[in-house]
Amino acid sequence: MIKNYIIDTNVMIHDPYFYNNFEDNNIIIPIICIEELDNLKSREGIKGFHARCSIREINTLMKNGSLKEGVRLSGGGLIKIEMNHMDMAVLPNAMSHSKNDNLILAICLNIMKNTKIPTVLITKDVSMQIKADSLGIATEDYKHDKITETVLYKGYSELSISSEQIGLIYSGGLELPREIEGDVFPNHFFHMHDLSDSSHEVLAKFNGEKIVPLRYEKEAAWGLKPMNKEQRMAFELLMDPSVHFVSMAGGAGSGKTILATSVALQKVIEEGIYRKIIFVRPVVPAGNDIGFLPGDEAEKLTPWMSSFYDAIDNLMDMRYKHRKDGRDLDGTVEEFIDMFRQKGILETKTFNYMRGRTLSKALVIVDEAQQTTPHLAKLMLTRAGHDSKFIFVGDPSDNQIDNVYVDSRSNGLVYAIEKMKKHQITGHVTLKQVERSPLAKLAEKSM
C-alpha cells in the first residue's frame, strides 16, 4: 500500500540522499523544512555541510519536473514540496503557532484529514515523536542506515583450545576450529586459552585463511608499547600496511587516539611509509560554531584538535625525557606541529575541507568519529587514494554523542564498523580497559 512519508528537516540533514530510500511511496517535504535548510546552509561544521548537500540534491530533482506538482523518482515514488495544509486550528490551544515543529505537525494532521492514504512523519527528533504520538500521528525514525545488530562487532573472541592447536599457530597457522561460533572475518583476533594449562594464554589473528601469530607485538611506535590485550590487537592492525582501514571504539582513556597518533608518527616521520598525517575532527560544538573563531583555518581548528595535541605532547615526553643524545627537549608541542605542518607532513582538517580531495599515501586519523553521520563516514573513506590508510576512532555510546542527528546505532563510526568488517584490508577492535590513569579508570567505573 502506498504511504505518505512527511520528512522532517533533521532527516535531510542526517542523509542528503534520503529520497532514494522510500520505494514507491509519496515523499512530502513541508516548505518550512526548505526554509530551515536555507537558514542552516551558512553554518560551519556538520550541520551546515549537510544542509548544503541536501539543498543541492533537492535542486537536482527539479530537472525532472516541478516539485510543487511532484517529481517521479527512479524507484517509482513521488517527491513534492508541500505548500498547503497549514491550518494551525487543528492543533490544541496549548501548542505555539510560532514553532516550525508545530507547523509540520499541523501539516501532518491536515493531510491526514484530507486523504485516505496512510501518513507517517519521519523524524529523528525524540520530542517531535512524543508530540506527534500525542496528536495521533504515526511516526518512524529514519532507519535506512541504522545498524540493527544488537551487539556491536568488537573484533575479537575468546577461544579455548589444546596445546597442540596452539603449537600449530606458530608452525604454519591453525585452521579455524569447528567449535567457533558465529562469523569470523579477516583480521579477527583470538584470545587463546590452553585447555591443559590455565596460565598459558596467547593472542593470534585470523588472516583470512588461518589463525597466525601477531607480527608486531614486540615492536613500539614512537616509544609507545600497547598496555593490554585489546591495545595489542589494535596495534597489530595499525602497524600493518596491508590493512587500509582500522576502526577503534572504546571509552575515555582506553588509548584510542594516542595509539593511532604514535603509529602515525612512526610510519610517517620515522619510516616514511606514508607521505603525511592528516588529523580530521568533526566540528560539533556545544556553543558557537567554528566560524565564530578568529584566524586562518589552522588557528580556527586548534581548539578542536586538543586530543591530537595532548597525544603528541605525551608521546614527546615518553620518547625524549630519558634521552641524552643532545636533542632539544624544550620545544613545545605547538612548535613541533607547526614545524611539520610547514613541511607539508602534517595537516589538521575538518570535514568541510575534504570534499573533492584524493588522499594518496597518507595516514588519515578521524577522531570522534561517532559524531559523524554515515554519509560523512562514506565521504571520508571515498577520499582514499593509493597506498593510504584511514583510522576511525571514537566512543559510540549515546552519552558521548553531541550530534543531535545521530545516535549509538546510526552514527558514522558504527556504520563503518559494520559495513567494513568483512574485508581483507579492514579491521576493528573495541578497547575495554582505561589506561589513562588510576583516577580516570575509577571515574569510568564509578560514575
Taking the C-alpha atoms of residue 400 and residue 32, their distance in angstroms, rounded to an integer, is 31
Taking the C-alpha atoms of residue 152 and residue 157, their distance in angstroms, rounded to an integer, is 13
Q: What pLDDT, on the 0 to 100 scale, is given for residue 83? A: 93
132 and 230 both lie in a single domain: no
Q: Which residues contact 91 (CB under 8 A, 6 or more apart)?
A: 97, 102, 105, 106, 109, 135
Q: What pLDDT, on the 0 to 100 scale, is given for residue 227? A: 92
266 and 119 both lie in a single domain: no
Tell how strand 276-280 and strand 426-431 pair up. unpaired
Q: What pLDDT, on the 0 to 100 scale, is given for residue 436? A: 73
Query: Dihedrals φ, ψ of 353, to 5°?
Result: -100, 10
271 and 377 both lie in a single domain: yes
Cell 583450545 maps to which residue?
A: 161
How many angstroms separate the Cα of 174 from the Cα of each of 157, 206, 422?
15, 9, 20
Q: What pLDDT, on the 0 to 100 scale, is given for residue 439? A: 67
Query: Dihedrals φ, ψ of 440, to 5°?
Result: -60, -40
pTM, entire model: 0.84
110 and 258 both lie in a single domain: no
Q: Decide if 150 is inside a domain.
A: no
281 and 400 both lie in a single domain: yes
In sequence order, the β-bridge partners of residue 250 are: 431
Q: Decide if 184 is inside a domain.
A: no
Per-residue pLDDT of the chain (447 residues; tens, 9 = 90+): 899 999 999 999 999 999 999 999 999 999 999 999 999 998 877 788 889 999 999 999 999 999 999 999 998 999 999 999 999 999 999 999 999 999 999 999 999 999 999 999 999 999 999 999 999 999 999 988 888 777 889 999 999 999 999 999 999 999 999 878 778 999 999 999 999 988 899 999 999 999 999 999 999 999 899 999 999 999 999 999 999 999 999 988 899 999 999 999 999 999 999 999 999 988 764 434 444 455 566 666 676 788 888 999 989 887 665 454 444 445 788 889 999 999 999 998 887 667 778 999 999 999 999 999 999 999 899 999 999 999 999 999 888 888 888 899 999 999 999 999 999 999 999 999 887 777 666 666 665
Contact 282, 235 (CB under 8 A): no
Q: Decide if 195 is inside a domain.
A: no
Q: Decide if 146 is inside a domain.
A: no
| Domain termination site, one of 118, 140, 162 | 140
Q: What pLDDT, on the 0 to 100 scale, is given for residue 1? A: 87
Contact 367, 279 (CB under 8 A): yes
How many angstroms separate the Cα of 249 from the Cα of each of 22, 395, 408?
31, 5, 12
Contact 392, 369 (CB under 8 A): yes
The distance from CA 256 to its chain's CA centroid, rounded to whole angstroms, is 14
In a 10 Å sphere around its CB, with 0-12 CB exposed, 13-18 middle and 19+ buried, how is residue 333 labelled?
Answer: middle
426 and 279 both lie in a single domain: yes
Sheet order of strands, 4-7 included: 71-72, 78-82, 26-30, 4-7, 119-122, 138-140
134 and 230 both lie in a single domain: no
393 and 260 both lie in a single domain: yes
Q: Decide if 45 is inside a domain.
A: yes
In a 10 Å sphere around its CB, with 0-12 CB exposed, 13-18 middle and 19+ buried, how is residue 381 labelled?
Answer: buried
Taking the C-alpha atoms of residue 1 and residue 216, their distance in angstroms, rounded to an integer, is 57
Q: Decide if 256 is inside a domain.
A: yes
CATH number assigned to the domain comprising residue 100: 3.40.50.1010
312 and 438 both lie in a single domain: yes
Q: Decide if 169 is inside a domain.
A: no
Q: Decide if 197 is inside a domain.
A: no
Q: What pLDDT, on the 0 to 100 scale, is given for residue 143? A: 87
122 and 266 both lie in a single domain: no
Domain span including residue 360? 224-446
CATH number assigned to the domain comprising residue 363: 3.40.50.300
Cell 523544512 maps to which residue?
A: 33
| Domain termination site, one of 140, 174, 196 | 140
Q: What pLDDT, on the 0 to 100 scale, is given for residue 316? A: 86
271 and 410 both lie in a single domain: yes
| Domain termination site, one of 140, 160, 190 | 140
State the virtual CA torsion across 111, 406, 146, 245 in degrees, nearest 10: 150
230 and 127 both lie in a single domain: no
Give me the number of domains the chain comprises: 2
Q: Which of 153, 18, 33 is nearest to 81 (CA)?
A: 33
Q: What pLDDT, on the 0 to 100 scale, is given for residue 286? A: 40
